[in-house]
Amino acid sequence: MLLLAQEIMKENSLSFDWLKPLIAEMITKSLAIGPENAQTGPARRGDFKTLDKHVAFLADSESLNEIYKLISQDIVDRYAAEE
C-alpha cells in the first residue's frame, strides 16, 4: 500500500514526504488501540460522496481503481455490520 501511495504521489508531482506524518500516526495509533479502532476515513464513515471523488481521481488506472473499490467496500461492509 505504501508503494502504491508513493507511486500515486510521484505521478501527480507530489512529495511522498507529505504522507509520512499520516503514515506514522496511522501505525502508532493502530499499534496502541488496535487497527479495528484506528480505522478512519470515508469508507469507515460511509461517506460515499468522497469515495466517488477518489474513484474519479483514480480513473486513469484500472488496477488502482479496482484495488481502491475492493478495499473501500470491505471497510464499508465490515463497519456497517456493527451498526
Kindly report, residue by residue over 61-79, the tens digit of the pLDDT: 999 999 999 999 999 999 8
Domain count of the fold of the chain: 2
Q: What is the pLDDT of residue 70?
A: 97
Q: What is the pLDDT of residue 80?
A: 87
Residue 17 grid cell: 514526504
- Clarify whether residues 53 and 18 are in a common domain: no
Separation in Å, CA 13 to CA 9, 54, 63, 80: 6, 17, 20, 36
- Clarify whether residues 25 and 47 are in a common domain: no
> Does the pLDDT at position 54 exceed 90?
yes
Decide if 5 contacts 16 (C-beta within 8 A).
Answer: yes
- Clarify whether residues 34 and 46 are in a common domain: no
- Clarify whether residues 48 and 77 are in a common domain: yes
- Clarify whether residues 34 and 59 are in a common domain: no
Instruction: Kindly indicate the confidence band of residue 81, based on its pLDDT and cuts at 50, 70 and 90.
Output: confident
Model confidence pLDDT, tens digit, residues 2-13: 999 999 999 999
Cβ-Cβ contacts under 8 Å for 42 (sequence gap 6 or more) = 48, 50, 51, 54, 72
Domain housing 68? 42-83
